[in-house]
Amino acid sequence: MKKVVIINGSPKKRKSVSEKLCMIIRHELFQRAEIEEIYLYETDIDEALLESIHEAQAVVMLQPLYVDCLPSRVLEFMWASQEYESEHEGKRPELYFVINCGFLEFEHNFTAVKIIEKYCSECGFVFGGGVAAGTGGTILNSHSFKRLEELLENMALYICRETALIVNESEKYNMTGRVYFIDEGIPKYLYKARFAKLWSGLAKKNNLSKAKLKEAYYKE
């Protein structure tokens, strides 16, 4: 069986949106691949970890978008990984990814996708492709979820495509280097209103007014 390493790059670890998306991939990979899971925010990035990742046949990186880019801990891994690769002759796995962005539009992910592509080319990894989503966690309860689920399932099936039983199905979405972008596609005014309602509601629970949420903390 193919060894697949799943890297969760969310600081929220097991409570993250990345983890929920990971469950879909894990479900499809179950019994079709040997899975190793790594939570970057609770794991030391050492030689043993890098060896394990670089010896895999496939790697799946899941993370949120932080400040138009990948979270710093994910970058720490990528820098260490590139240094490891320059000193060792690893198997050079296929790399797949999932990025989820809290803002409405999937376009926010473009730069991060290009950074992952560059990382692959510098490490000699095969850029397998991935899924980049907008709309944050609310996409899990939206009409777009079915499509997102389908994309993730097919990505997982493609990763373990050598498994005879699923050869035909995996051809449905040939991932090879392709990136699928998805978001909820609702009007911006609706997203804004939903966002304001969410935070105002949370503030109310903390006895804070909407005006208080807007106040400057640091005075000039």
Residues of this chain that interact with another protein (CB under 8 A) are: 10-12, 41, 64, 66-73, 75-76, 78-79, 82, 103-105, 107-108, 111, 114-115, 118-119, 122, 188, 191-192, 195-196, 199, 202-203, 206, 208, 212-218, 220
Q: Where are the beta strands (DSSP E) in the chain?
A: 2-8, 33-39, 58-64, 94-100, 126-133, 178-182
CB of 87 to another protein, least distance (A): 16
Under 8 Å between Cβ of 92 and 126: yes
Comparison of 167 and 196: residue with beta carbon closer to another protein: 196
Q: What minimum distance in Å lies between the beta carbon of 140 and another protein?
A: 16
Q: Which residue, 1 or 190, is less far from another protein as judged by CB? A: 190
Instruction: Tell me which residue has tokens 């909407």.
Output: 210
Taking the complex as a whole, the smallest distance from the CB of residue 159 to another protein amounts, in Å, to 23
Q: What are phi and psi of 11, to 5 degrees?
A: -65, -15
Q: Which two tokens stand for residue 116?
A: 């992952």
Q: How far apart are CA 154 and CA 171, in angstroms?
A: 9
Judged by CB, which is closer to another protein: 75, or 126? Answer: 75
Q: Which C-beta is closer to another protein: that of 4 or that of 104? A: 104
Nearest to 58 by CA among 185, 149, 189, 157: 157
Nearer to another protein, 87 or 164 (CB): 87
In the bound state with another protein, the residue whose beta carbon lies nearer, of 173 and 208, is 208
Selection from 177, 132, 145 nearest residue 158 by Cα? 177
What is the closest distance, in whole angstroms, from the C-beta atom of residue 166 to another protein in the complex?
33
| Nearest CA among 162, 161, 164, 158 for reference residue 178 | 158
Minimum distance of another protein from residue 162's CB (angstroms): 30
Q: Any idea what DSSP says for residue 14?
A: G
Amino acid letter, 201:
G
Backbone angles phi, psi at 79, to 5 degrees: -65, -45
What one-letter code names the amino acid at 174? N
